[in-house]
Structure 1
């Protein structure tokens, strides 16, 4: 297992972590298997996406428009609640199959971290098995 820190630069940001995961696979774990990727934070998430130019911003815009404007009850900062909710909806982890130490992603698929409350340092835990 390896822990990796990802530094984000913006409030809302999509970070392609595919190369980070594949670098880990090239150095550790079996040649074929599954790679578990988990982000240990409550205001960012992991998923896969097509990262053609502009699709990162399309994703972020669509996510922000998903949630209604409500009176949230988050005790220390109600304005921060949508960040937590979107993170929970997307989820904190992925399991991706790999072969020959390469993720078995679709042609246009990338593994991404979705930052919802940056800029911050985010903690990723990677485990190949």
Structure 2
């Protein structure tokens, strides 16, 4: 996971890869989050929000290994599946660096941003009452 980066690889400071939302939050696509996957630079996505958890790696009760295995990814389902409390989610707020773009959000829709499915999901087509 601790891969050396080519200087041509964009980072979070590359304004072409991130934008600012009306609310002042930085909009960070998963392609940028995926670049932050090392012990010295560890980002994750939880419920459509992007967090830089580098400072808390050594303090995580479950150990830093599990965080590093999932660094640079959306860990929402793992976060929920392991039974994290609301207090744990609230503690993450101090580490938030941005949000996912609307087209990549799967949990939260920001006000004024309506997402309409173009076709029914496969799960809906399989369901017959």
TM-score by length of 1: 0.26
Rg larger in 1 or in 2? 2
Greater fraction of residues in strand: 1
Higher relative contact order, chain-length normalized (CA < 8 Å, sep 6+): 1
